Chains A and B, each alone.
Chain A
């Protein structure tokens, strides 16, 4: 079955530091890949998605992710963390472009 694994259920970074959230996927063919963000008591908001057009994907709020087929990875980065980035981040895969399968999430804490 298709799945994603997020390394680290909690990540803490200082304000202004690099954000790196790790995600590895399992898929026999290149799938559709996503990063979603969830703020407390809110639904999920799409940050960015990979659909095979380009390996480096730019999203909202300064986030980007790079699809690396050789490593089956789709890590999320942001050069400089902001306090407002504190939230839960979910990596997700859609093998056939319909239902989405989510990872367990990584909670990002921003230290002042």
Chain B
């Protein structure tokens, strides 16, 4: 197992386009988290899943953002009608429920031009 994997690592898109990111967690981990990190800031929580159920969504997550984890394994985060303010690093993490240690992927850096 190579840890949490995110794809793509970098994405440049034009304003108004839709983008989708993928996260593959560590295989036995049933919790999966999405965070957003902008320059000079700490990661901000967006949403998390336990198995396929989305248990919590941050108020930061506008209706242009949607996340899924259909089979309780990998997850996708889609941003519709991207805006320049969406430019950030999107981080995925996974853990086992009941274990506080979360393992992070290397992130997907989104640039909206």
- Interface residues of A, Cβ cutoff 8 Å to B: 9, 32, 34, 36, 41-46, 49, 51, 90, 92, 94, 97-105
Contacts and interface: CB of A to CB of B under 8 A. Distances in A.
A100 B56 CA distance: 12
B33 A99 contact: yes
A99 B48 contact: yes
B21 interface: no
A43 B44 contact: no
B102 interface: yes
B100 A45 contact: no
Contacts of B48: 98-99
Contacts, number: 54
A98 B43 contact: no
A9 B40 CA distance: 9
B100 A44 contact: no
Interface string B57-91: 00000000000000000000000000000000001
Interface of B: 4, 31, 33, 35, 40-45, 48, 55-56, 91, 93, 98, 100-107
A14 B77 CA distance: 42
Given A42-B106, A44-B91, A99-B56, A94 B100 contact: yes
B43 A45 contact: no
Nearest to B48: A99
Kindly name the residue among B45, B55, B104 whose own CB sees the greatest number of chain A CB atoms within 10 A: B104
Contacts of A104: 40-42
B61 to A, nearest CB: 12
B101 A49 contact: yes
Contact of A45 (B55, B104, B107): B104
A65 to B, nearest CB: 15
Given A43-B4, A43-B91, A99-B33, A90 B43 contact: yes
Given A98-B31, A99-B48, A105 B104 contact: no
Contact of B45 (A34, A51, A90, A99): A99
Most interface-central of A42, A51, A92, A99 (chain B CB within 10 A): A99
